[in-house]
A and B are shown apart, each in its own frame.
Chain A
Amino acid sequence: MKKLCFKDKARRIRKTNRRRAVVLRRRRGGHSSGVGRTISAPRDLSFSRNPNGTLSFLSELKESVFSPKKTKRRGKWVSKSSFIDLSKIERISLPSAVVLSAELHRWKLTKGTLLKVKNSKRWEHRVRSLLCDLGAFELMGLHISGDLGYSDENPVAMLKLKSGERTDGPALSALQSELAKVSVAFLRSKAVYEALHEAHLNCIEHAYTDSDASRPKYPYAGHRWWATSAYDGHKNSLRFFVYDQGVGIPETIARKKDWQDRLANLFASTGLVKSDANAIAGAFEIGKSRTHKAERGKGLATMAKVVEGRSGGYLRILSGMGDVTIYHDGSCTKRSFNSHIGGTMVEWSIPVPGLETTNEN
């Protein structure tokens, strides 16, 4: 046997130690590269119940993907790998599940790489089932099954997330047909079709900006929308979601002189202070106004019309740093976040009996 010199022996020992460390890390559920960074989701992923924890998780996720920290490995600077650990989530709201799935989709579309997931076997069943329904695992390139199906224990039937860069009438129609399959009480509605359509148009035409002056912090996956719907057995309601990763309604308004003037007038006449939430609520108020130029702004009014008169129904808009809910009777609640949600989430919640009895137009 060839006698090794001291240098070779030391190299071999270092190599063996590195291998042992890799095996140990794998046994502990970690990744083998040793330069990974774990992004752990909060226990409660919800914009209503835990806005700060949810926003900071999403922000950390985006930061690690699009501005990854570098580390030196074998003399070369390489990006640190990121792992998403969702095992701590005990509760997850539907809007935050949509936002998370859209984020994972953007990752795949813009980076072209598959994601690495940590501890997926330890995820809470309902979290796994919800993400499975949404198609989030497919977006991550994973083959994880976990659909619990609709039951008393899991009373949410969520449809697979759809996405596109153009409006797609047949897809919107299919969304309603699929919902009719999971909830027999659901009747197809023209108002729902029109509202979803206008929300998609807002995503494509107004949500994103490509000007040099205002480059987005994170790259866009096109002028894209994400949409889905669900039957929520907890609330006995149908919920529709349309999300974009644009600049948000307040920022869009700030770029349009006529809207800005109208909003300034509204704030002056009502004594409201300038905030994202007030800007969103104000935009809907202006959209309702008959005096506003007919070719613009009707989209927002159409979006609000779906819930008008449907007792218990509401339209919720999370955009920029604002969260506004407009109820069936026209009343509204507003709240502000500490940071930008990273786009605009529009949610309609329609109680099931309301769909059967209310005149859709």
Chain B
Amino acid sequence: MKIEVRIARDFSKFPGGRYRKTGDFSGQEFREDVLHKHLRKGDTLKVILDGVDGYPPSFLEEAFGGLVREGFPVHDILDKIEIAFESEEYLVYKEMVSEYLADAADELEKS
């Protein structure tokens, strides 16, 4: 089943930093409470980026790069999570997610 996750509506309009300990609405919180929940059920996701105040890079890196570090293969992530946007201004964040996935995979391979 394809589930639509609108970050501004279903998570927060104010994405935070990397870890839960540093503040609310962190990348870790989004990964563990939203992405994991659906991925474990075998759902595929359409994550819509629009409507937030901004995305700190730490948030995006921890949310998506963190999946790779947890052992999800990049191709699985790309198969199961579609990053979407309605306004062109969010294109840059989609590109950042791709970059972080690739970098996390590289780092994992090196280590």
Contact = CB atoms under 8 A, between A and B. Distances in A.
Interface in B31-78: 53-58, 61-62, 65
Contacts of B18: 201, 205
A361 B92 contact: yes
Contacts of B23: 166-169, 200, 204
B53 A190 contact: yes
A118 interface: no
Please name the 10 residue pairs, one residue from A and one from B, whose CB atoms are nearest each other, closest first.
A169-B14, A167-B23, A294-B103, A193-B54, A190-B54, A166-B23, A197-B56, A298-B57, A194-B54, A201-B17
- Interface SS of chain A: helix
Interface in A180-200: 188-194, 197-198, 200
Interface of A: 166-170, 172-173, 176, 188-194, 197-198, 200-201, 204-205, 293-295, 298-299, 302, 360-361
Interface in B1-46: 12-18, 22-26
A151 B13 CA distance: 35
Given A293-B103, A294-B99, A298-B61, A205 B22 contact: yes
A293 B107 contact: yes
Contacts of A173: 13-14, 53
Contacts of A193: 53-54, 56
Contacts of A298: 57-58, 61
Contacts of A176: 53
Contacts of A294: 61, 65, 99-100, 103-104, 107
A361 B89 contact: yes
Given A190-B53, A197-B17, A294-B103, A169 B58 contact: no
